[in-house]
Amino acid sequence: MLVLLALAACWTPQYTGPRSMVGHVVDTNGQPVVGLEVESLESRWITDDQGFFAANYKDPNQYVHLTHEGLWYKRSYTPSDDDTNVQIQLVPTEQHAVQCAVTGPCRAQITWRLSDVLVARQRFDCGKKPAHTLTVPAGVEPAEVICKTPVGQPDTPMALVTRDDPWVFTSAGRQATFELASDAQPSHCAYAVDGQPVMSDDGIPQGEILLGSVVTALCDGIPARPEVIAVPLPSAVALEWTDTPSQFDLTPVRPATSSATLRRLPSSAETSDAPEWSLDLPVGSDSRLALPPLHAGAYDLLLDVTEPPAPAPIPEQPVDVWTPQTLEGGGLRLTLRLSRDGSMDRVTVAPVPED
């Protein structure tokens, strides 16, 4: 290290060009950052009391890099930098929780493109530790997420499947086939992943799935129960379906209903094996809709009406309008709550309490 510093001191670059960079590192307020290491493959420099540095490099590695508050930056050279003092301005950062959902060795790498010549990067080990807290650029979307695998194996792309807290990353999607978990065989099925129709190959429906993808199917006009993809990503997805579904007659509720959406609502007491999903339900000309096989739990049924209903008193308590068949784990109760604006009704399905 002493030899390296001595060599750097023997030749101090005076300008930026194809072989060197002279620059100025400033913080988010434009103030100089003092005592920060700025490195290339050929040299290492410490910013002076004005935040300046001078570094040497060689083609094709014409860049410098530095780390500040846990975030790695890379500033590349371009011919427009010639004979200038390059300014590297650090960006506002924040702490963010990150969750990995991968199998096998994986050193995750997130890259943010801050400008045409400046990028920021974080690396963390997903294979050994799935949960991390990282310093990230505030309000900047990741430009690339990859899984750097052992030497000799190609790096694999990863997908950011949720931007909530925490961010959840998973390996890029895999191809899966889709089928029904049912004794009955419908004449026609239309499958979709996250609302996008999937194609069939030799009569077998298949498509790409990710962690958190929602797979749906409508078979002979009857919906299957949606399946939310979890890890490990399966190669085949089977959806629960029946040719004798529970029917709900909307005539006494909202005969002018044009569409309905059923939403699965996980409660705080439930685990991740009961994730949230939503499903658009077809409404027949007789104002009846068929429900998919439902597990005991909480749901919302949102009814969209074509015409404003006649004014009706708002009940103080939910009104029981329908109870479906008893299922394993208990029955379900559908209760109606009239909306005050009259444009939409919300119906909640909840477990029938034991006597």
Which strand (E) or helix (H) includes residue 135? strand 131-137
Dist. CA 59–CA 127, nearest whole Å? 34
pLDDT in tens, 208-235: 887 678 999 999 999 999 998 876 678 8
Better pLDDT: 273 or 275: 275
pLDDT in tens, 284-340: 888 788 888 877 666 777 776 655 544 444 444 444 444 444 334 444 444 444 344
> What integer pLDDT is reported at residue 122 of this predicted model?
95
Q: Which residue range is the domain that position 137 belongs to?
A: 93-171
Better pLDDT: 172 or 182: 182
pTM of the model: 0.53
Q: What percent of the chain has pLDDT over 90?
A: 41
- Specify whether 6 is located in the same domain as 64: yes
Q: Are 87 and 51 in contact (CB under 8 A)?
A: no
Residue 131: give its domain's CATH number: 2.60.40
Tally the domains of the chain: 4
* pLDDT reading at 21 higher than 70: yes
Which of 69, 89, 109 is a domain's end point? 89
Range of lowest pLDDT (74-78, 177-181, 195-199): 195-199
For tokens 């002018």, what's the residue?
A: 256
Q: Are 250 and 303 in contact (CB under 8 A)?
A: yes
> What integer pLDDT is reported at residue 69 of this predicted model?
92
The burial class, CB within 10 Å (0-12 / 13-18 / 19+), for 250 is: buried
pLDDT band at 33 (very low <50, low <70, confident <90, very high): very high
pLDDT in tens, 251-268: 765 666 777 888 887 654
- Specify whether 256 is located in the same domain as 276: yes
Phi/psi of residue 81, each to 5°?
-80, -10
> What integer pLDDT is reported at residue 338 of this predicted model?
38
- Specify whether 139 is located in the same domain as 207: no
| Beta pairing partners, 162 | 168
Dist. CA 233–CA 212, nearest whole Å? 10
> What integer pLDDT is reported at residue 146 of this predicted model?
87
Dist. CA 90–CA 137, nearest whole Å? 9
Grouping H, G, I as helix, E, B as strand and the rest as coil, residue 79 is helix
- Specify whether 167 is located in the same domain as 179: no
pLDDT band at 38 (very low <50, low <70, confident <90, very high): very high
> What integer pLDDT is reported at residue 167 of this predicted model?
84
> What integer pLDDT is reported at residue 288 of this predicted model?
81
Which of 171, 195, 229 is a domain's end point? 171
| Beta pairing partners, 351 | 332
The number of CA neighbours under 13 Å toward the Cβ of 177 is 9
* pLDDT reading at 191 higher than 90: yes
Q: Which among 255, 256, 170 has a CA at the least distance from the CA of 208? A: 170
DSSP letter at 109? E
Which of 240, 257, 281 is a domain's end point? 240
> What integer pLDDT is reported at residue 253 of this predicted model?
59
Amino acid identity of 111? T
Q: Are 188 and 179 in contact (CB under 8 A)?
A: no
Dist. CA 41–CA 8, nearest whole Å? 12
